[in-house]
Structures are given as structure tokens and as C-alpha cells.
């Protein structure tokens, strides 16, 4: 079985839903024209990301929408018209609580919503309490984990154990104040602001330790060890006081990058995924050898460090 997917990097404008929805529609139409059955867009792409950490609870509630609100309704109807699944990130309100959410709108009208499990840094936004894995009209089982969710290895394994063959991994990452491996400093805004005069410097930084090199450390490992495709979408460009590094990509169950954007602006890449690779992967073999009775106590324990 095969499915064609597309994944997007773009620079959302803070709290400008009309602009951001227009970009979603642009890429959804481009994906449909390319024959993709599903297109994945970044975390919080309808509302912007880092500015939310500076908002009051009242301001956050003004930006949030119910899970059947106008933005998801508009994307759901677009998915129906195009015959293409469209996955978008936004801020939702449910039962009086706010969530960093990701809505997967399918062409049959179904909507599946993941609520981010790990929301460090977002005051007033609650953490979700469950995994999101579901069947699709194409006979493929999808899972969703948002940004930091993917850094907790147990989350990816649990999603795979629940049967996900493809993991949608929307992010707003790269060049950040929290992710500075190897002693690197966050990417300065001046780098992005000078992109027209020095685009090579931007490309080099995006490919460096806080960009592509960091992605190469963990995304292929997650895909390989769990025998699943990972569809990574990301912001690109300015995100309040930080810079996002793009590199939208698709990784196969062998840990190989099969499609990737090297653009330093809004862009989309697509790939045909052969689901037979999932069952035949080393990761699925390893998963079949698991002994869950051995993991119950350590899984419940907190780190001693």
C-alpha cells in the first residue's frame, strides 16, 4: 500500500488567522495538485507560536477557538472540496481549558485533534492527557505528536505500539533559546533580517547544530527504532524573538530522509510512502520482542537526576 504525503514549512504571522489560513489554503491546493492525499503544516501555524508565551490568559482566550470553531470548520470544508487531508496547528478551548492543538481534517469530514502533551513555557495552556492514533480513509493508521512531545521517547514508542504507521510531527523549532547543543548560541534575529543580502549565511545556519544537524540526531532515530514514517513540518523564519529553521522532511522506517526542503523560505516537499516498509522494518521486529512486564516500574519512575 502506498500513500503520497506533503509537508510544509512556513512563517505564520502572530494572531493573524486570515493571513495564516490563506497560506494553509495555498499549500493545500498545491498538495492536491501534486497528488498528495495528506498535507501536514506546522505547529500553531494558524496563530503563531512564541508570542503566546508573552500573552495574558485573557489574550490567549481571545485567540483560542472551540474545536468546532471557524478555523477548523474552514479547513475541514477545504479538505472535503480538495479530497485531501489537511493537518494544522492552532490554539483551542475545550471545557474551559486551553490547548496547543493539532487538527487533522480528513476528506470524509472527520476531524481528529491532538492536544500537546508537554507544554513547557506556555503559561495558561494546559497539557493534553492522551495519545492520538486513528484510522484514515486510505487504510493507513496515523499518529500525532507536537514538537516537544517527540523528544520524550516513550511518547513515540506508545504511538507506534498503538499502531501508527505514520507519525505527523508538527514543530516550531530550530535555532532556539532552549535547544543549543554543542555549546552553540541561539540564532540571532539579525541573521534572518539580513537574508536578502546574505542568504548563504542563513542556509549555513539552518543546516548547522541548532537546525538540520539537531533534526538528524533524533528524527531518524525515532523513525528507525519504532518502524514508522515521520512527517516533520516546521516554522521557518521569524518567530517573535527567535528564528525557526525549516527543513520540512519525511523520514522512512529505516531512518532515511526521503524528502526534505533546503529552502530558507515558505516551501513544501512531498513523497510517496510505501507502507510495506513499516511491517518489514527492524524497528517493528524490535517492538515485537518487547517484554512490557519489565517496564512497568521504571516507566512510572521519575528520573533520579
pLDDT tens-place string over residues 240-260: 999 999 999 999 999 999 999
Count of other CB atoms within 10 angstroms of residue 53: 14
Q: What is the predicted pLDDT for the residue at 182?
A: 56
Q: Which residue has the higher pLDDT, 225 or 209?
A: 225
Sheet strands (E) in 64-213: 65-66, 85-94, 97-105, 111-115, 132-135, 141-144, 166-170
CATH architecture of 2-292: 4-Layer Sandwich (3.60)
Q: What is the predicted pLDDT for the residue at 122?
A: 83
Burial class (CB in 10 A: 0-12, 13-18, 19+), 38: buried
pTM equals 0.96
143-169 burial, b for 16+ CB within 10 Å, e for fewer?
Answer: bbbbbbbbeeeebbbbbbeeebbbbbb
Q: Which residue has the higher pLDDT, 122 or 23?
A: 23
Q: What grid cell was written down for 72?
A: 477548523
Section 218-229 average pLDDT: 97
Section 79-102 average pLDDT: 97
Q: What is the predicted pLDDT for the residue at 175?
A: 79
> pLDDT band at 149, cuts 50/70/90?
very high
Does the pLDDT at position 178 exceed 70? Answer: no
- Cell 493539532 belongs to 102
Q: Residue 271: in which H helix or E strand, if any?
A: strand 267-274
Among 51, 16, 290, which Cα is nearest to 161's? 290
Amino acid at each position: 500500500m502506498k500513500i503520497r504525503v506533503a509537508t510544509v514549512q512556513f512563517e505564520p504571522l502572530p494572531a493573524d488567522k486570515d493571513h495564516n489560513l490563506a497560506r494553509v489554503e495555498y499549500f493545500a491546493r498545491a498538495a492536491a495538485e501534486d497528488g498528495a492525499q495528506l498535507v501536514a503544516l506546522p505547529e500553531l501555524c494558524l496563530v503563531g507560536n512564541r508570542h503566546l508565551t508573552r500573552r495574558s490568559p485573557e489574550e490567549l482566550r481571545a485567540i483560542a477557538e472551540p474545536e468546532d470553531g471557524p478555523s477548523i470548520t474552514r479547513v475541514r470544508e477545504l479538505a472535503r472540496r480538495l479530497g485531501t487531508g489537511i493537518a494544522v496547528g492552532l490554539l483551542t478551548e475545550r471545557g474551559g481549558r486551553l490547548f496547543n492543538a493539532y487538527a487533522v481534517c480528513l476528506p470524509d469530514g472527520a476531524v481528529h485533534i491532538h492536544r500537546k502533551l508537554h507544554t513547557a513555557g506556555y503559561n495558561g495552556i494546559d497539557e493534553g492527557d492522551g495519545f492520538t492514533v486513528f484510522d484514515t480513509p486510505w487504510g493507513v493508521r496515523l499518529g500525532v505528536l507536537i514538537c516537544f512531545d517527540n523528544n520524550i521517547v516513550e511518547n513515540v514508542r506508545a504511538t507506534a505500539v498503538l499502531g501508527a504507521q505514520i507519525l505527523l510531527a508538527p514543530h516550531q523549532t530550530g535555532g532556539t533559546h532552549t535547544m543549543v547543543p554543542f555549546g552553540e548560541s541561539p540564532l540571532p534575529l539579525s541573521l534572518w533580517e539580513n537574508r536578502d543580502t546574505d542568504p548563504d549565511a542563513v542556509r549555513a545556519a539552518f543546516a548547522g547544530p541548532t537546525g538540520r544537524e539537531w533534526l538528524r540526531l533524533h528524527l531518524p532515530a525515532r523513525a528507525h527504532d519504532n518502524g514508522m514514517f515521520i512527517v516533520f513540518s516546521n516554522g521557518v523564519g521569524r518567530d517573535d524573538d527567535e528564528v525557526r529553521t525549516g527543513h520540512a522532511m519525511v523520514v522512512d522506517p529505516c531512518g532515511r530522509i526521503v524528502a526534505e526542503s533546503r529552502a530558507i523560505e515558505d516551501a513544501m516537499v512531498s513523497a510517496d510512502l510505501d507502507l510495506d516498509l513499516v511491517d518489514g522494518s527492524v524497528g517493528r521486529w524490535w517492538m515485537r520482542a518487547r517484554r512490557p512486564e519489565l517496564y512497568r516500574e521504571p516507566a512510572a519512575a521519575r528520573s533520579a537526576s
